Each structure stands twice: as C-alpha cells, then as structure tokens.
Amino acid sequence: MDYGVEDIRESFKFLKCALELLNASNLSFFKKEAMLNVLRNESKLRLNFQANMCDTEVFEADGVKSFNRPISCFDKFSKPKSNVEDIDTWFEYECLSVSDMVVAIIHYYMVYGFKVIPCKHCGRVFATQSLKTVYCNRISPYKNDFSQKKSRPEPCKDTVKREIQFLRKKKDRLLDRIRNSSDVMRGYTEDVYDKLRQECSQYMDLVIKAPTPENFEKFNYYLECVAQKKEWKR
Ligand SMILES: [Zn+2]
C-alpha cells in the first residue's frame, strides 16, 4: 500500500472538507456529488480504487455486480441505481492507497445517507443515519471519582443516564439536609438555602443540556463544596 506522507496529508484535508459537505442538510445528493468531485479534483487525489456493488440476488455468474471501471476513470461518486434502502445491497471496496480508503469511506457514507457528528457526551465523532441519535456507541471516558461505588465502564448513553440520576439524588439529599438544619428551620439562613437551591437547578439544567464529563465533574465538585462549607450553618 502507498503510504506517501503527502498522500496522507491530502487525504485528511479532503476528509475534513468532505464531511462538512456530507452533513449539509440543504444539498441534494447530486449537488453533493458534484461538489465532492470538484473538491477531489482540487486536492488532486490520486485514486485507484474500485467500488463493487454487491447483492444477494445473482446479477452475474459470481453474484457480484461490478462497476467494472475504477472509480477514478468515470470520475463520480456514483449513487447505485438499485434501492439502497434494501439491506441486501452492500459495497465492497478495493483500495490501493490511503486516499482510496478515504474516498471509499466518503462514498459509503454518502450513498447510505450517513452523517458524521460529534457525540453529545464525549465529543468524539461518529457516523449515524439519524440525527435523533446523539450519543456514540463507544465506552465513555468519564469516571465518577465522587461516587463511593466504583462505576464500571459503560457506553456514553448509559453513562449519561446513570450520572444524571446520581447527581439528582445527591442534590436532593443535600438540599434536604440543609432544609432540615436548625438554622434554616428557624429562618436565620433561609436566603442561603434559596440561593443554593437555585444554583443546583442551574447545574441540573446544564448537565441535561450538555452532559459532558467536564460538566458532570463541575456539578459534583460544587455539591461537595456546599456539603463541606456548611455556609447554611452560622
Ligand atoms: Zn460518545
């Protein structure tokens, strides 16, 4: 395989721009195809890969329908004629260089309508066919150092659900403790209690809107500080 440094650099430059085009929701397939071809010509990617469309239905003797010519020859990203919703249809790519692999990935994403977006929790990019999917399938990098129980590594979606439950319980328990403290009961530090309650609800909104490891840590740290400072007690 050809691993020229320039080739790799150009390929990643192409990938970055191509992903933006791919995610543009206001462009038709054909417009995207045309723009990607322009982009590819501009970056002068040397391509030599072949995309074979395969089907479980036998088109030819070996059951593989081939485009016959390498994709660089007919110079197109080529949407297949058959129904791509059909799960029995897939592509096989033959790649000879890094550029080929990059363009093959873009080709696949485009034909099957994948978008490449950052995960709402960990921020790493992933490909999805539906923008309703906001979390990737990877294991979350978040470790809750504030919990007594050691949490086992889980995918982003499960981690977010578990952590928000954890924070809500922790916040409710702390606010209960403060409300039942004698000073608050006697009305001396009611304003302090109200302020803490407001801050907690702001943090709760933050971790629901942006459930990132950083925000989980911020909220945990805040709750620990409030619990230790005991400013509601005079
Ligand atoms: Zn993630």
Give me ligand 1 centre to Cα 143, in Å. 14
E strands, the chain, in order = 50-55, 64-66, 89-94, 115-118, 125-128
Round to whole Å and give the CA distance between 115 and 19.
8
Give me ligand 1 centre to Cα 160, in Å. 10
Which residue in 7, 18, 80, 17 sits closest to 47, CA to CA?
7
Note the pLDDT tens digit of each residue in 72-119: 333 456 555 554 454 455 677 777 777 788 888 888 888 778 888 999
DSSP 8-state assignment for residue 152: P
Give me ligand 1 centre to Cα 101, in Å. 24
Give me ligand 1 centre to Cα 162, in Å. 14
What is the mean predicted confidence (pLDDT) over 206-224?
A: 96
Q: What value does the mean pLDDT of the chain take?
A: 80
Report helix, strand or coil for 224. Answer: helix
pLDDT on residue 126: 92
What is the mean predicted confidence (pLDDT) over 215-226?
A: 95
ipTM (interface predicted TM): 0.99
Domain borders along the chain are 5-113, 156-229
Give me ligand 1 centre to Cα 59, in Å. 40
pLDDT on residue 144: 83
In this model, does residue 175 exceed pLDDT 60?
Answer: yes
Which residue in 162, 152, 139 sits closest to 216, CA to CA?
162
Note the pLDDT tens digit of each residue in 117-145: 999 999 999 999 888 999 999 999 998 88
